[in-house]
Amino acid sequence: MSVTFRCRPPERCLSMARMHAHTRGKSHSTRPTSKSVPTWVNTSHSDLISNIIKMYKEDSLTASQIGIILRDEYGIPLVKPILGKTITDVLRENGVKQDMPEDLDRLVKKALGLQRHLRTHNSDRRNVRSLELIESKIHRLSRYYKKRDNIDKNWKYAAVIAQAQ
């Protein structure tokens, strides 16, 4: 039985592709290969948890921004091997309730910014199409989060493109 690939050479098929493009993303930082606690990390659990909560409450940072600051300034590559839970879990245990997951919230904010742009530049066809793609991602993610009970079952995003046409 032979395996057929949709792309040539077959090695190119092994990397993850973008949702609405034919390119494959390569510009990102690589995660640490080891899932064990690094030897250079000497931060205690309580200090790490208090830093996470302080960054969220005082600096109003998101979980991904907190992870980047911990990586760049504190030398902590991953929080999960050290604490046994993610930054989002730490925030949830300490009484921080997020209305919606961070990636869905970012997409909704991006769509609102594009809607604001299209109100003044209504002949911008390229951004009309990009708004359609963003709204498609929002609907797909909302279905996923509704199945996992991360957002309310009756949460609905009103698509502007569907209303305009």
Q: How confident is the model at residue 16 (pLDDT cuts 50, 70, 90)?
A: low
Determine the Cα–Cα distance for residues 90 and 71; give it in Å rounded to an integer: 17
Q: What pLDDT, on a 0 to 100 scale, did the predictor assign at position 4?
A: 53
Q: What pLDDT, on a 0 to 100 scale, did the predictor assign at position 165?
A: 39
Q: What pLDDT, on a 0 to 100 scale, did the predictor assign at position 85?
A: 93
Q: What pLDDT, on a 0 to 100 scale, did the predictor assign at position 160?
A: 61
61 contact partners, CB below 8 Å, separation of at least 6: 55, 69
Strands (DSSP E) along 41-159, which ranges?
none
Q: Hey, what's the torsion of the CAs at 85, 72, 99, 103, to 10 degrees?
A: -100
Q: What is the pLDDT of residues 79-95, one digit of tens each?
A: 999 999 999 999 999 98
Q: What is the pLDDT of residues 87-117, one digit of tens each?
A: 999 999 998 888 889 999 999 999 999 999 9
Q: What pLDDT, on a 0 to 100 scale, did the predictor assign at position 22?
A: 73
53 contact partners, CB below 8 Å, separation of at least 6: 90, 91, 94, 96
Q: What is the pLDDT of residues 18-71, one digit of tens each?
A: 777 777 777 777 777 778 888 888 888 999 999 999 999 998 899 999 999 999
* pLDDT > 90? residue 130: yes
* Cα–Cα distances in angstroms (integers) from residue 66 to residues 56, 57, 134, in the given order: 7, 11, 25
* pLDDT > 60? residue 6: no
Tell me the β-bridge partners of 17. 24
**Top-confidence residue, 50 or 10:** 50
Q: How confident is the model at residue 158 (pLDDT cuts 50, 70, 90)?
A: confident
